[in-house]
Every structure is written in C-alpha cells, then in structure tokens.
C-alpha cells in the first residue's frame, strides 16, 4: 500500500504491504497492527515523533551541490542526535526493568547507528548489547544470543575496541548464561567482564562492582555460599572506599547503581 520506503519506517513489521496504520502526528511512520504501534509509542516513538519528520519526508527539490552537502550534514547530525536519544531511553527502560519497551528504543538506536556507520562497525555494538540485554530480560534467549553474537562479531572485526565495551559484552553473556542456568559458562564470562573493566578503570573502581555482584549471584545459585559472601564483601569494600572520597559526586553513584 505504501511502497518499499515503508520497510525503513516500520520498527516491527517486515511485511511492508501490511503496514497500513499511520502515526497521525508525524505521518511518516507505519505499523501493521495497533499492538506494535502502542508498544513503539510507549517505548520510544512519542519521544522522537517530530524528529523523524525531516528524516523521512521525501526530498522534492535536489538543489545545488552546496545545498545537497548542507542537507547531508543536517541529516547526519539529526541521525547522530537520535542515536543518543534512543540509546539513553533504552538504558533507562532497562534500568526500570521494562524490557518490552526497551526493545523498540534499542531497535531505533540500531537503525540510526546503521544510518551513520558501516554494517559491521563497532558503533553498532552498544545497540546490539541493549537489544541482547532486553531479550535476556524477556527470556527470549535465542534472540539474545543472536544479538550478542552480532556484537561479538563486530568487535572481532574491529581494529580497536574499548575495554569497557568488551566488558559489557562479557557481562551480557554472563547474564544470559546465568538466566539459562549455565553457571560455569556464566562464571567464565563474568571473570572476563571484571578483567576488561579493571583494565579500563582500576581493579578498585566502582565500575568493577557490577561484575563482582553478578559473580556473587552465580556463586549463590550454585550454593557456594562462602565464595558468594567473599565476592559480596569485595563489592561492599570498594563502595566504602569510594564513598569516603570527598569529591565523590552523587551522579556518579547513580551511574553505577545499575
């Protein structure tokens, strides 16, 4: 009904000719049913609706070369802005445990990241990790593993990768295996998480405590209570030292409470 252009305008629906429900506000986004429209609206669309209009409205006049270059720069700037908005919203929804709503936000982050990056770019990894974590929360393990595998492949293909990103990849694999009850695999992944974040920060940085906490949780699942207690004590010890620091900012504390 709306042509091939709708494939890039629909978050959920691959069957483009069935995407007949139009957003009445932006009028450039289509859905195949009201359920998809509702979850997208609650997850991200309401926050970016008007920002999509200049990106999805067809160009009627090509203009001069200078005008085209200016338009391309504007488009890229808008896409990068939307990457930041959608990633931030996906993080927020994951923190709140609203995994179903985090999916559309993370999908939009992936879409706009793809618009400004190559197909196997390292810049796609944060969106894959968000989608993987949301899928784990929904117990959609096959989907989660697919997203995390895409992230892993992009990292392997990259010339360089920040240790913080490597850490998060292993953290998410650790969460996946923990949720599946594959505790030995989870321990291996969480050990790598702690290793890479320690390289990126320091072994006593509060950024490391998330990995330690998940490690302790796995030990607890295995009824290895002494090991779990030792790891949790390590978490408490790091936090005590950090909170004694005079210039410790409350915002930094919130950042690592996830």
Q: What is the mean pLDDT of residues 183-205?
A: 97
Res. 147 pLDDT band, cuts 50 70 90? very high
Examine the pLDDT at 9 and tell me if it is beyond 50. no
Is the pLDDT assigned to residue 11 strictly greater than 60? no
61 and 104 inside one domain: yes
Find the CATH number of the domain harbouring 54. 1.25.40
Q: What pLDDT was estimated at residue 18? A: 56
Question: How many CB atoms within 10 Å of residue 50?
Answer: 10
Q: Residues 130, 167: one domain?
A: no
- Mean pLDDT in residue range 15-19: 52
Q: In the predicted model, what is the mean pLDDT of residues 214-237?
A: 98
- Which of 126, 141, 157 is the last residue in one of the domains? 157
What are the contacts of 234-241 at 24+ separation with CB within 8 A?
234/209, 235/209, 238/204, 238/205, 238/206, 238/208, 238/209, 238/212, 239/206, 239/209, 241/204
By 3-state DSSP, what share of the chain in percent is helix, strand and coil, each rounded to 5?
A: 75, 0, 25
Of the pLDDT bands very low, low, confident and very high (cuts 50, 70, 90), residue 207 is very high
212 belongs to a structural domain:
yes
On the question of pLDDT at 28 being above 70, the answer is: yes
Predicted local distance difference test score (pLDDT) of residue 1: 34
Buried b (16+ CB within 10 A) or exposed e, 130-149: bbbbbbbbeebeebbbebbe
Does residue 5 lie in a domain region?
Answer: no
pLDDT in tens, 29-75: 888 888 888 899 899 999 999 999 999 888 777 778 888 888 899 99
Helix (H, G, I), strand (E, B) or coil at 6: helix
Strand partners, 21: 31
Q: Which two tokens stand for residue 248?
A: 């410790």
CB atoms closer than 10 angstroms to residue 46 = 12
* pLDDT for position 3: 37
**58 three-class SS:** coil
Would you say residue 193 lies in a domain?
A: yes
- What band does 19 get if pLDDT is binned at 50, 70 and 90? low
Q: Which of 114, 41, 30 is nearest to 80 (CA)?
A: 114
State whether 93 and 150 are in the same domain.
Answer: yes
Could you tell me if 55 and 180 lie in one domain?
Answer: no
The per-residue pLDDT for range 69-117, each reduced to its tens digit, is 888 999 999 999 999 999 999 999 999 999 999 999 999 999 999 999 9
Mean pLDDT, the chain, rounded, equals 88
Record the pTM.
Answer: 0.86
Contact 26, 39 (CB under 8 A): no
Are 193 and 146 part of one and the same domain? no
Give the count of domains, the chain: 2
Does the residue 10 lie in any domain? Answer: no
Residue 23 lies in a domain: yes
CATH number at residue 170: 1.25.40.10
Task: Judge if 48 and 130 occupy the same domain.
Answer: yes
* Side-chain half-sphere CA neighbours of 83 within 13 A: 20
Which domain-ending residue is among 157, 173, 196?
157
Cα–Cα distance measured from residue 93 to residue 86, given in angstroms and rounded to the nearest whole number: 11
Quote the domain boundaries for residue 55: 17-157
Residues 152, 167, single domain; the answer is no
Which is it for strands 30-31 and 21-22: parallel, antiparallel or unpaired? antiparallel
Question: Averaged over 232-241, what is the pLDDT?
Answer: 95
């Amino acid at each position: 009904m709306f042509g091939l252009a709708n494939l890039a305008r629909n978050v959920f629906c691959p069957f483009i000719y069935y995407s007949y429900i139009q957003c009445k506000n932006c009028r450039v986004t289509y859905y195949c049913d009201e359920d998809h429209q509702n979850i997208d609206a609650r997850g991200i669309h309401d926050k970016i609706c008007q920002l999509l209009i200049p990106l999805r409205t067809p160009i009627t006049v090509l203009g001069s070369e200078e005008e085209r270059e200016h338009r391309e720069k504007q488009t890229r700037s808008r896409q990068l802005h939307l990457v930041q908005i959608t990633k931030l919203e996906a993080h927020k929804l994951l923190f709140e445990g609203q995994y179903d709503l985090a999916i559309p936000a993370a999908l939009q982050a992936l879409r706009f990241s793809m618009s400004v990056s190559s197909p196997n770019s390292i810049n796609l990894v944060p969106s894959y990790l968000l989608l993987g974590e949301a899928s784990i929360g929904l117990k959609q393990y096959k989907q989660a593993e697919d997203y995390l595998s895409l992230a892993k492949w992009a990292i392997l293909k990259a010339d360089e990768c920040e240790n913080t990103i490597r850490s998060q990849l292993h953290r998410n694999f650790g969460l996946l295996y923990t949720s599946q009850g594959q505790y030995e695999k989870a321990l291996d992944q969480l050990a790598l998480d702690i290793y890479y974040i320690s390289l990126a920060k320091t072994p006593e940085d509060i950024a490391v405590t998330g990995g330690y906490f998940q490690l302790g949780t796995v030990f607890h699942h295995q009824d290895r209570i002494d090991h779990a207690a030792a790891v949790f004590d390590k978490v408490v010890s790091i936090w005590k030292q950090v909170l004694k620091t005079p210039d410790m900012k409350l915002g930094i504390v919130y950042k690592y409470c996830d």
